[in-house]
Chains A and B, each alone.
Chain A
Amino acid sequence: MKITQTENNDFVVVAIDGEIDLDSSPQMRKIFQELMDKGKSRIVIDFEKVSYIDSSGLATLIEMMQRLKKIQGQLSLVQMSDKIRSLFEITKLDKLFSIHRTQAEAFKAI
């Protein structure tokens, strides 16, 4: 998994390229911890290049969202493929997360 971070005013866009799963979740958790340590609390995850996510990946996202909530932060998810979006719908996690089609929509909503 490759992770690229871009700062955009108050937001940090974290673009993930690859699979979010049991193997890569620790790497994602580490990046989020570093961002929170730097005081970044508004995070947008760009899923455009995410090809796969498993239950460990979903659990890691829930954990990150909960941690951001505790510091009045926010986590938005954007540009999901239809397949990955369907997993959020099946698990009803689409009710828990702020999911948007584009980064622009996410910025507008935050």
Chain B
Amino acid sequence: MFALKNRHSEHFCFPSDLRKIKDASQKVLSTLDDLKLNKSDLFDIKLCFEEALINGIKHGNKGDIQLNIEAEVIKAEKYLEIIVRDQGSGFDFSHCVDPTKEENLIKTCGRGVFLIHKLMDKVRYEKKGSCVHMIKYLSKKEKSH
């Protein structure tokens, strides 16, 4: 599906600790400096990575601080892929409600997954939802939103 040419990947392992989200995010984002991404793409990547991490900690690892979250950043010529894996038994994201429906607008949950799908170019799940692959194509015109 993806060309292996010029791929570079980095692996990370983070504790299942919501207080460490910012540290994890900074570590991952710092590896993207060489890509010279525009501010909008960086915002999207940061948001989606942090939302995936929060989901992994809360819904995947159920807040178990003994468990870890693994992340992998793959930099290819035309895209950036971020993989976030938790150690839980999976989570069925298809059951997430559409937060943009009028009856769901005032609900305070469900927007993290929705935003990941909207802000990344491709999203797919593995292992019953305990692993999410998020892809952002590079060198494209900035989205209008």
Cross-chain pair count, CB within 8 angstroms: 53
What residues of A have a CB within 8 angstroms of the CB of B21 in the complex? Answer: 22-23
- CB of A91, distance to nearest CB on chain B (Å): 6
Give chain B's interface secondary structure class. Answer: helix
The answer on a CB contact under 8 Å between B106 and A62 is yes
The answer on a CB contact under 8 Å between B100 and A92 is yes
Q: Does B83 contact A (CB under 8 A)?
A: no
Q: Which residue of B lies closest to A65 (CB)?
A: B106
- CB of A6, distance to nearest CB on chain B (Å): 27
Give chain A's interface secondary structure class. Answer: helix
What residues of B have a CB within 8 angstroms of the CB of A54 in the complex? Answer: 47, 50-51, 112
What residues of B have a CB within 8 angstroms of the CB of A93 in the complex? Answer: 105
Q: How many residues of A contact B (CB 8 A)?
A: 23
The answer on a CB contact under 8 Å between B108 and A63 is yes
Of residues 10 to 30 in B, which have CB atoms within 8 Å of A's CB atoms? 18-19, 21-22
What residues of B have a CB within 8 angstroms of the CB of A63 in the complex? Answer: 108
What residues of A have a CB within 8 angstroms of the CB of B109 in the complex? Answer: 59
Of A35-43, A71-79, A82-90, A99-107, the stretch lying at the interface with chain B is A82-90
Q: Which residue of B lies closest to A97 (CB)?
A: B105
What residues of B have a CB within 8 angstroms of the CB of A23 in the complex? Answer: 19, 21-22
What residues of B have a CB within 8 angstroms of the CB of A59 in the complex? Answer: 108-109, 111
